[in-house]
Chain A
């Protein structure tokens, strides 16, 4: 297996995630796109862990998973809050402050 196979898969996922966060208006979908990005990072970390013959990458990946879970929790709480106040989860409506 080539190292770059994994890395490029990671890069593709990353960029799809980036596309997602830019074009998705629904906040829940944006959160899903973020998960894509974070997963690409984990693929990278584990591939490098294998390449460098060290365990640090595994640990790092576990921390990333845990933090990602926390972030999703917070994000969904905010989405709920937003929904409760505005009856909508469209991010475009969050433009009361600008300029």
Chain B
């Protein structure tokens, strides 16, 4: 008999404070849609500030939640948790979303886009990410994943008359659906084995019996998220999509969407599969090694800047995956989680900055080739300097943020102290050297090459782009110079259900 018959339905008690970021975002989305419908075209400019205020408004309850001393807020019977980890990640998503809005504002105005719907989709995707950070059961994770993905598929194809943009959207969509199908199959198996969709309960019931099925389920779920973080060999969509999609969308995908994938991956792995590390550790090891290496080597061959950045971001994903390959070793889980969070924060700041510059430069040169950066320093020294800083950060050169992300990743590997972790550390070390090959290429273009067409009119930086550049560059610098700040985030980022039971 199904026992649920006996229990009458009671209205679930909802902690509205805990859900405030989601509610504000949702309200903003609806308002945006309505205004878009009723406003005359001349007043449509209102939508842009509305979108940014929605995001910033959603950020306020994140702050108040972080400052309130209530500890972990558990909603819906533990299916939705607002803990420190989720708050840090929500903050990251919202800020990244805000920067993307800044990047898009002028881009939209100049291009041939549907503005209102674009903001609507962007905010919807952000809502999915914000929910992903708190989801602690498979249904929520699945729906959040779709909520953040489906708008992103369409945003990638948003430049409707551009064949490349179509292609980008189609590839992203198809592979995304394939991956989520695999993940769903894994989730169904997991549900079958454990009889629950709640991650914490799954961890309890996921014993050591049914081993082959358990391995299959865990693997398929990991693959589903590996697609999202574009880990090799599930990365194939990324370069094509990044190249074809409108640049702000690419920035959004390569930062926020990837971070959301990592959040889901980390949540599932740490909360639901702590006992199955025999399955996922080797998988992450191989994924990480492949991702770094293939990403780097393919990046070396690229001539298009966005495509190169796509491979660079794939390779960076490999570094973020690195600590997960040892997270099952006793006592390393915490430092691995901290390292992932730290790396994501640093990476988000740096990569968004890079894309801001790509947009600034593309506005002038109307080209996506790396060679169009020739002589950038001679006519836009500030931009070239900032780009140098971001490149140095991505390459892991102190004192810019990137080095610290790499440092924490290596720290986790070394503290695991197994042979395999050392081998992975060595692979990572070699890759971080190889990576300089293509970052250096850009530097060389900027500083040491003549301007390709001799056109040295200075570039114009719109105010919104300027603000975006300011935010990202200052964060990159501060995160690298005072890593104490980011460590603080990393420290509080305990994952409820995994470490604080």
Are A and B physically bound partners? Answer: yes
Query: Which residues of A come within 8 Å of B, CB atoms?
Result: 7, 10, 14, 17, 21, 27, 30, 34, 37-38, 40-41, 44-45, 47-48, 51-57, 59-60, 63-64, 67, 70-71, 74-75, 77-79, 81-82, 85-86, 91, 94-99
Of the candidates B177, B188, B302, the one having the most CB atoms from chain A within 10 angstroms of its own CB is B188
Contact call A44/B167, Cβ cutoff below 8 A? no
Interface bits B280-320 vs A (CB < 8 Å: 1, else 0): 00000000000000000000011000010000000000000
Q: How far is the CA of A81 from the CA of B164 in the complex (A)?
A: 12
Chain B neighbourhood of A56, CB < 8 A: 139, 191, 196-197
Contact call B192/A52, Cβ cutoff below 8 A? yes
Given contacts A59-B139, A63-B143, A85-B161, contact A44 B188 (CB under 8 A): yes
Give the nearest-CB partner of A45 in chain B. Answer: B188
Contact call A97/B166, Cβ cutoff below 8 A? no
Chain A neighbourhood of B161, CB < 8 A: 85
21 A-B contacts, Cβ less than 8 Å apart?
A21-B174, A38-B184, A44-B188, A51-B192, A53-B2, A60-B142, A60-B197, A63-B143, A70-B146, A71-B177, A81-B157, A81-B169, A82-B170, A85-B160, A86-B166, A91-B170, A91-B174, A94-B171, A95-B167, A96-B167, A97-B167
Q: Which of B238-246, B371-379, B453-461, B477-485 contacts A (4 or more CB under 8 A)?
A: B238-246
The dominant DSSP class at the A interface is: helix
Chain A neighbourhood of B177, CB < 8 A: 34, 71, 75
Chain A neighbourhood of B3, CB < 8 A: 53
Give the nearest-CB partner of A30 in chain B. Answer: B174
Chain A neighbourhood of B187, CB < 8 A: 41, 60
Contact call A67/B195, Cβ cutoff below 8 A? no
Given contacts A78-B157, A96-B164, A97-B168, contact A47 B185 (CB under 8 A): no
Of the candidates A10, A67, A86, A95, the one having the most CB atoms from chain B within 10 angstroms of its own CB is A67
Contact call B181/A41, Cβ cutoff below 8 A? yes
Give the nearest-CB partner of A41 in chain B. Answer: B184
Chain B neighbourhood of A7, CB < 8 A: 192
Of the candidates B160, B163, B243, the one having the most CB atoms from chain A within 10 angstroms of its own CB is B163
Chain B neighbourhood of A27, CB < 8 A: 170
Known: A34-B177, A55-B2. 19 other contacts (CB 8 A): A30-B174, A37-B181, A44-B192, A47-B192, A52-B191, A52-B192, A53-B2, A56-B197, A60-B139, A63-B142, A63-B143, A70-B146, A74-B173, A78-B153, A81-B169, A82-B170, A97-B164, A97-B243, A99-B302
Interface residues on B, range: 35 or more
Give the nearest-CB partner of A83 in chain B. Answer: B166
Interface assignment of B138: CB less than 8 Å from any CB of chain A: yes
Chain A neighbourhood of B163, CB < 8 A: 85-86, 96
Contact call B244/A41, Cβ cutoff below 8 A? no
Q: How far is the CA of A97 from the CA of B189 in the complex (A)?
A: 36
B486 CB → nearest A CB, Å: 35
Contact call B196/A54, Cβ cutoff below 8 A? yes
The listed residue (A41, A71, A78) touching B146 by CB distance below 8 A is A71
Give the nearest-CB partner of A27 in chain B. Answer: B170
Contact call A71/B170, Cβ cutoff below 8 A? no
Chain B neighbourhood of A48, CB < 8 A: 188, 191-192, 195
Given contacts A82-B166, A85-B166, A86-B163, contact A74 B150 (CB under 8 A): yes
Q: How far is the CA of A60 from the CA of B192 in the complex (A)?
A: 12
Q: How far is the CA of A18 from the CA of B191 in the complex (A)?
A: 22
Interface assignment of B42: CB less than 8 Å from any CB of chain A: no
A25 CB → nearest B CB, Å: 12
Interface bits B373-401 vs A (CB < 8 Å: 1, else 0): 00000000000000000000000000000
Sorted nearest first, the 6 A-B pairs with minimum C-beta distance are: A48-B192, A52-B195, A44-B188, A37-B181, A97-B240, A94-B167
The listed residue (B139, B160, B302) touching A81 by CB distance below 8 A is B160
A54 CB → nearest B CB, Å: 6
Contact call A70/B191, Cβ cutoff below 8 A? no
B369 CB → nearest A CB, Å: 14
B179 CB → nearest A CB, Å: 11
B144 CB → nearest A CB, Å: 11
Contact call A63/B139, Cβ cutoff below 8 A? yes
Give the nearest-CB partner of B243 in chain A. Answer: A97
Of the candidates A21, A30, A64, A82, the one having the most CB atoms from chain B within 10 angstroms of its own CB is A64
Chain B neighbourhood of A79, CB < 8 A: 170
Interface assignment of B154: CB less than 8 Å from any CB of chain A: yes
